[in-house]
A and B are shown apart, each in its own frame.
Chain A
Amino acid sequence: MAAHTSRAFLSLGRINVPGLGLHKSVSRVTYSTGLSTDSSKATTGSPQKGGKKVLSKKYKREPGDPRTELMPVDQDWTAVYPVATPFIPDAIPLPVRMGCPVKGGAPPEKKGNLELIKIPNFLHLTPAAIKKHCEALKPFCTEWPSALDTDAKCDEHFPIKVETKSYVSAGPSIRNPAARIVHLSVKLSSLNLNDQARKKMLKLVGDRYCKDTDILTITADRCPLKQQNYDYAMYLLTVLYHESWKIEAWEAEKTVADMEEYSWEGSLSQENILDVLVRMKEAGEGEGEEVREQLLGRREVQEYKDSVTRLKNEGENESTMLQYKEAVKKVLKL
């Protein structure tokens, strides 16, 4: 054990050992192998030469093999590194190198490498260690409900997901102000909203809704405590839901410019196409509403309607333009 500790001291480079001659011998040992060199004998020898009978010729034990040589391959690593400990080169059987490489050479080896000691290591958190932690925590846990075996079932029964972060650090205070933030996410399809309510909800919510995943995310961080923020987020969700179901008097004044999507019925495009078809030979069959209804029912007109709606809603690219062109050609019978 003593030898172990002394070697530890050696590698740390910090010595608090009283005694003469050992300073020099220690600094030499840091950059060389553990074998004692002749120079140490020389220094210890010199007082002897001086004639003084120094009884305290420090017995310098030969440092043995590093512990890595003696470790079996299937050892229990959690016993070697049970807690967070700085990097010990002789206890870690890995040929790690770190630092700036010498010109034409490799980075310095792990022995006495300060860089490896400075950085944090997670050697105490290997999978085996984590497994042991889980086993230790198991008596305090309840079982996962067997009915919730797929993600879809979890979404169905628990549509609201609350995300919070907690922080642990060593410092003068254990509080972290970032721990108060609460993210509440819910899929709009799981809420009971009809068409008008959904459009109003989207207008109220704005950027907080992601169209691709259909998830509304409410982030609350205005209160100092996590619990307060959670309550506020739940309150916001409730209020949004109820408000989107209410219909105000001024909502009846919604104009075409406010519409989220293009609807072909009642648009200029419909007027135009009916006008054109009436002026073509179709005009001979009668006037008024029946003609319009009959024209609207035609297949080409339906195709035309689909192509215009697609063009306006999706934006224009080659495929929508081609579809529109084909539809117009068919309608105008070219």
Chain B
Amino acid sequence: MLSMYFNIHGGSQQQEAVAAESEPEPLSIFRTQENDPACQSEKHFGQYYTLPSAHVRTVFPHGLPMRYKQQVKTFNEACMMVRPPALEVISSLKKTDNSKPAVRYLFYGLKGSGKTMTLCHTIHFCYTQGWLVLHVPDAHLWVKNCKELLPSSFNSSRYDQPLQATEWLRNFRITNEPFLSKIKTKQRYVWTKRESTEEGSTLGELVDQGITRVKTSSDVVGAVMKELRLQSGQPESDFRLAVAVDGVNALWGRSTIRKMNNTAVDPEELTLVYNLRKLMKNDWTGGAIITTLAQTGAVYTSKYSYLPKELLGEKGFDSMDPFIPVSVPNYSEKEFESCYLYYMDRHWLQYPHSRTEDGKKELIFLSNRNPSMLERICGFH
């Protein structure tokens, strides 16, 4: 492996020989030139593929993990590893039948094992295939730290969160520009005495209404979700809907938001959560629901829990049932090698000690091949 590294810069005969035997990637053994998720297969396990920066700006205005965003900025490229859980779900997505009810996938695993990144990989696939992506980057943000809580105008027992809703609508608009003018609403929505959205107006108008009139944004989110749910899978609509939620256990957990009389708000009483829960049910066709569990931002959960039933709870499990749980483990040996080589290539591992075998063993021991731990530790090595 080390000799391989030096040869890249040396450009000797050996390099071409190695390159010829393993895939057409003249650069290195840990990268692949196959940047289209649809064409990736088991051959590319453990290899990094590059996301085009245009895609990163459109598809992931709010979806990537914070540390990964910093890494993208530092390395000036967005490289993601091809891993088995993502490819498993992608191959199932390729075979989805438009007439059948939406299948639910759930990524679960230890903290920092790569669930959000796997979700982003799957979303990238959906985007490249032309699906409409409804991405909720972190459902936990909707059940905690709410600065403004308004009683809902639509249903007096529920509460609105205008700030979160507007932000989400903005990002939704960035991701799904092309669809906004194509999809038409099937129903008339009345916001106030003077404002209403007529039947047959485009989705773009609906979204703009929500962004400009902040007070009604939560209801607009609900309307958007309803429209998409009703229209996907119908013979006349030509789009497929991918619903991606990170931290889906927030929908059935507890919230830290309190009402004026200091009692806790049940997540069900929040408009955003209520509408999202309706989307989570598999009573619509023509798409898929891909979700991730997250303990990291969760409230009132133990730090060490990561299994689906623990985090979803009884109610959540029964609502999601039947779903396909996909385990996202720590790096395997091959994946660790690949990650190590990538960091070396990017000159992220500064100290000469980390280039030795001992240094590598130290990294394995300290991080236990956990992706996020490895990333943090390599910053100091």
The interface of chain A, by Cβ under 8 A from chain B, is: 267-269, 272-273, 275-276, 279-281, 304, 308, 311-312, 315-318, 321, 324-325, 328-329, 331-332, 334
Contact = CB atoms under 8 A, between A and B. Distances in A.
A78 B321 CA distance: 76
Given A269-B318, A321-B307, A334 B327 contact: no
A146 to B, nearest CB: 55
B9 interface: no
A305 to B, nearest CB: 11
A318 B324 contact: no
Nearest to A331: B322
Contacts of A275: 283
Which 5 A/B pairs are nearest by Cβ-Cβ distance? A268-B318, A328-B322, A316-B307, A316-B309, A269-B321
29 contacts: A268-B321, A269-B318, A272-B322, A273-B321, A276-B101, A276-B322, A279-B100, A279-B101, A280-B100, A280-B101, A312-B309, A315-B309, A316-B308, A318-B327, A321-B307, A321-B308, A321-B325, A321-B327, A325-B325, A325-B326, A328-B322, A328-B323, A329-B324, A331-B322, A332-B324, A334-B92, A334-B95, A334-B103, A334-B324
Nearest to B323: A328
Contacts of A276: 101, 282, 322
Given A269-B321, A334-B324, 18 more contacts: A268-B321, A269-B322, A272-B321, A279-B100, A279-B283, A280-B100, A308-B321, A311-B309, A312-B309, A315-B309, A316-B309, A316-B310, A321-B307, A321-B308, A321-B327, A325-B325, A332-B103, A334-B92
B327 A273 contact: no
B318 A272 contact: yes
A331 B322 CA distance: 9
Contacts of B327: 318, 321
A237 B91 CA distance: 61
B167 to A, nearest CB: 33
Contacts of A332: 100, 103, 322, 324
A332 B100 CA distance: 9
Nearest to B100: A280
A276 B323 CA distance: 11
A123 B322 CA distance: 72
A302 to B, nearest CB: 14
Contacts, number: 53
Contacts of A315: 309
Size range of the chain B interface in the assembly: 10 to 19
Interface string B265-283: 0000000000000000011
A308 B317 CA distance: 11
A184 B283 CA distance: 57
Nearest to B95: A334
B321 to A, nearest CB: 5
Contacts of B310: 316
Most buried by A among B282, B310, B326: B282
A330 to B, nearest CB: 11
Interface in B67-110: 92, 95, 100-101, 103
A258 to B, nearest CB: 14
A229 B322 CA distance: 55
Contacts of A334: 92, 95, 103, 324
B218 to A, nearest CB: 28
Contact of A324 (B92, B100, B282, B325): B325
A311 to B, nearest CB: 7
A295 to B, nearest CB: 13
Contacts of B308: 316, 321
Contacts of A279: 100-101, 283
Nearest to A270: B321
A334 B89 CA distance: 11
Contacts of B324: 325, 328-329, 332, 334
A181 B91 CA distance: 67
A301 to B, nearest CB: 11
Nearest to A334: B92
Nearest to A327: B322
A271 to B, nearest CB: 9
A279 to B, nearest CB: 5
A328 B322 CA distance: 6
A304 B325 CA distance: 14
Contacts of B323: 328
A41 B275 CA distance: 113
Contacts of A312: 309
B92 to A, nearest CB: 6
Contacts of A281: 100
Interface string B289-311: 00000000000000000011110
A123 to B, nearest CB: 56
A286 B324 CA distance: 28
B163 to A, nearest CB: 34
B317 to A, nearest CB: 9
A269 B320 CA distance: 9
Contacts of B326: 325
